[in-house]
Amino acid sequence: MINLDLTEEQLLLEASVREWAAREVAPHIRECDREHRFDPRVLPQMADLGLLGVCVPAEYGGAGMDYLALGIASEELEYVDTSLRVILSVHVGLNSLSLLAWGTADQKQRYLVPQAQGRKIATFGLTEPAAGSDVRGIQTVAIQQGDRYRITGEKMWISLADVADNFLVFAWTDLEKKRVRDTSGISAFIVERSMPGFSSATLKEKWGILAGNTGSFKMEDVEVPSANMVGRPGEGFKIAMFALDQGRYTVAAGATGLIRACRDASAKYARERKTFGVEIGEHQLVKEMIAQMESDYQAARLLWLRAGWLKNEGRRNTRETGLAKWFATVASERAASDAVQVHGANGYSDEYPVGRFYRNCKGAVIYEGTREIHKVMQADYVLGYRTDRPTRCDLPPMQPTVASR
């Protein structure tokens, strides 16, 4: 049975995130963006709303909602600003849900619970100065010494690098496999900011998502107990790819929110601005841009809803999530560009939000698999060059707790 109606609980979440972001964030976002300032006050407020553990089961400190709730929150947050959705992507999507699926009972108690409650903030460290799409190119190594690993390396372009407490880090534990670029030599670890040898910095030259924190972190001989390894030795690459299934989902739903924001801002402006004696919305070429935003919004939404539904069912969704992410981010770039166009010169100034949308949308076309990587993946599925093998650990299936209206 396909049912696209949101449940009462999901509708309530949608309304409360929408109301909170409009009240608490929208009035200040232009200022934060202009000042390149991350506002840490949003974190406890997001925790109070239950967003930092939105789809983490209550037994692990979360709100116990389903995966569609994560998508709903992502869409609503990015409607106001991408920086808000990024928090959800790294903290919940990439980090906490990986611990939920792959973490030990002890790791869940020590890390997942405080993260889901919002007492600790988490992120995901895969990318390095010389390795993004090509994960095999990472240089970080973790050398085992008794019941500890000593990690050395640098991670770059990390969301919340200067804010997070806990980091899901990927490093080579088998140096022979590193030499031959065999990904079964990569392992995953939980690293804490407080561990000696850890340092981080904020990236200053970024030109989008300016109200978000992005940076780098270094690990110089950081001693990590073996109990902080997530999964088994050599499962790091699989865990990274698993994490991306959840991160990409939040990016897809977020980009859908950005398309809606572009659509709404453009429709409003098109009713206000007049040229040649009529509202610009009366001109067919302006209508065309707004119609494209509407069709992209509706299609992007259906795609992330399908991916979320598959997650709820406990079914593999790498292909569907990748498609949702690719489609929504590329469409959001088109929508943001056209939203600036609809606003004419006013769109080229900070007086209107569409310029910010235009700068913000581009990041998502790059991170969590670039447009090109996703294109290749989708072609490979169709061509039969790529199939998904079962992973050892999965997310628990989840169902919405309240019946549909």
Which among 328, 327, 369 has a CA at the least distance from the CA of 243?
369
Shortest Cβ 4–ligand FAD spacing (Å): 31
| Closer by beta carbon to ligand FAD, 137 or else 397 | 137
Question: Could you give the CA distance from residue 22 to residue 39 in angstroms, rounded to a whole number?
Answer: 15
CA-CA-CA-CA torsion sign (204, 373, 325, 391):
negative
Cβ-based neighbour number of residue 155 at 10 Å: 27
Say how far apart CA 70 and CA 112 lie, in whole Å: 16
Q: How far is the CB of 133 from ligand FAD (least distance, A)?
A: 3
Footprint of ligand FAD on residues 368-397 (CB under 6 A)? 368, 370, 372-373, 376
CB of 209 to ligand FAD, least distance (A): 5
Task: Single out the segment in contact with ligand FAD by CB under 6 A; choices: 127-135, 175-183, 186-194, 286-294.
Answer: 127-135
What single letter denotes the amino acid at residue 216? S
Radius of gyration, CA atoms only, the chain? 21
Select 54 or 156, whichever has its Cβ closest to ligand FAD: 156
CB 146 to ligand FAD: min, Å: 29
Nearer to ligand FAD, 157 or 189 (CB): 157
Task: From 107-115, 130-138, 177-185, 332-340, give the range in contact with ligand FAD by CB under 6 A.
Answer: 130-138
Closest approach of ligand FAD to the CB of residue 288, in Å: 29
Which residue lies nearer to ligand FAD by CB, 131 or 267? Answer: 131
Please identify the residue of the shown chain whose CB is closest to the bound ligand FAD. 132
What ranges in 187-283 are assigned the alpha helix state H? 236-272
Smallest separation (angstroms) from ligand FAD to the CB of 213? 10
Name residue, tokens 């299609």. Answer: 299
272-331: contacts with ligand FAD (CB under 6 A): none
- Reference 249, options 349, 333, 368, 398; nearest CA is 368
110: nearest Cα among 126, 92, 96? 96
Selection from 183, 187, 217 nearest residue 200 by Cα: 217
Residue 124 interacts with ligand FAD (CB under 6 A): yes or no: yes
Q: Segment near ligand FAD (CB under 6 A), from 65-73, 152-160, 191-199, 314-322?
A: 152-160
Stretch that binds ligand FAD, among 73-81, 119-127, 303-311, 381-389 (CB under 6 A): 119-127
83 binds ligand FAD (CB under 6 A): no
Residue indicated by tokens 């904020």: 202
Closest CA to 99 of 131, 64, 138, 57: 57
In this structure, what are the phi and psi dihedrals at residue 263, rounded to the nearest 5 degrees?
-60, -50
Residue 211 in contact with ligand FAD, rule: CB under 6 A: no
Least gap, CB of 370 to ligand FAD (angstroms): 3
Residues in region 181-210 near ligand FAD by CB under 6 A: 209
Active site residues: 368
Q: 150 near 189, Cβ under 8 Å? A: no
> What distance in Å separates the CA atoms of residue 158 and residue 247, rounded to the nearest whole number?
13
Among 3, 133, 226, 295, binds ligand FAD (CB under 6 A): 133
167 binds ligand FAD (CB under 6 A): no
| 21, 158, 255, 331: which one binds ligand FAD (CB under 6 A) | 158
Q: How far apart are CA 142 and CA 140, in angstroms?
A: 7
Q: What is the DSSP letter of 397?
A: P
Q: Pick the piece of the chain touching ligand FAD (CB under 6 A) from 59-67, 73-81, 118-126, 284-292.
A: 118-126
Q: 403 is written with which tokens? A: 């019946």
Footprint of ligand FAD on this chain (CB under 6 A)? Answer: 90, 123-127, 132-134, 157-159, 209, 214, 363, 366-368, 370, 372-373, 376
